[in-house]
Amino acid sequence: MKLQKITTATKTSQAAPKKAASKKAAPKVTKRAETQRRYKDACATAHALDLVGDRWALLVIRELIWGARRFGDLRASLPGISANVLTQRLNDLEAAGILTRRKLPPPAGVQVYELTEWGLESEPIFQALGRWAARSPQHDPTLPFSISSLLLSLRTMLDPDLAAGMTARIGFRLEDQSFLAELADGRIEIAPQALDGVDLIFTGTPPILAAAIYGGQDLKALEAAGLLKIAGDRKLAERFVGLFPLPPKASLPS
């Protein structure tokens, strides 16, 4: 939130205004005391929380699962995070060895962030947490849903029994990005890739794809509303969206 400074009129208010600065100040990074960020517990789970337990840290990692991203891209995919907090989390994760930064060669010449090999090993954390939290009666599926969230959910929620015997190459055009999903042997592998030689292509936004896959929204109705485009094997499309059943909701104490 930007705070606007309000001043009362003074003699100096009649003076000519100073020329505005041409450059924006860099986001301020606040270094926290070491004692505030450590549990001081030898349990590896406690140490994991030392590494990624701060608010937004895991979600920053989630957004980097599928490849390098620019600062602005990360901020756009994480509604609610401030530039200061994102800068702090990126610095913390880099110091922990979970991510690294590099500058793209010309003509782009911009700085990007990407997970290290060890950082990429974190994907099962998201799968385990996602499966567990999907049972929460308080989960709200209408909240913002990023591209990375959608793709990770597909790798998490695929039912290998329902997918048994299926082999398919399925493309996703999500905003300005393309991803190829290869379905075989009851597993699904997904990577950012050109959509050549695919059996099926879905074009839409992550929330609309999620509505079809997890919310049971009719594909024809979504197409008729102009929210979704399907190209290729329509029977495969109908079967594909049924491969990801959600677990039953947990019962809360009365």
Give per-residue pLDDT as tens, 151-200.
999 999 999 999 999 999 999 999 999 999 999 999 999 999 999 999 99
Q: Is the pLDDT of residue 212 over 80?
A: yes
Q: Which of 15-19, 36-40, 63-67, 124-128 has the lowest mean pLDDT?
A: 15-19
The confidence score (pLDDT) of residue 254 equals 83
The confidence score (pLDDT) of residue 22 equals 45
Mean pLDDT of 223-248: 98
The confidence score (pLDDT) of residue 108 equals 83
Question: Tens of pLDDT along 96-116?
Answer: 999 999 999 988 889 999 999
The confidence score (pLDDT) of residue 36 equals 57
Quote the CA–CA distance of 164 and 243 in Å, as a whole number. Answer: 10
The confidence score (pLDDT) of residue 109 equals 84
Residues paired with 173 in a beta bridge: 178, 203
Q: Which of 196, 210, 215 is nearest to 151 (CA)?
A: 210
Edge-to-edge strand list for the sheet holding 99-103: 69-70, 111-115, 99-103
pLDDT band at 31 (very low <50, low <70, confident <90, very high): low
What tokens does 183 get? 């379905």
Which domains are delineated in the chain? 32-122 (1.10.10.10), 146-240 (3.30.1050.10)
Q: What share of the chain has pLDDT > 70, as a percent?
A: 85
Q: How many CB atoms lie within 10 A of CB 155?
A: 19
CA torsion, ordered 128, 134, 136, 140, to nearest 10 deg: 130
Q: Is the pLDDT of residue 35 over 70?
A: no
Question: Tens of pLDDT along 72-87?
Answer: 999 999 999 999 999 9
The confidence score (pLDDT) of residue 90 equals 98
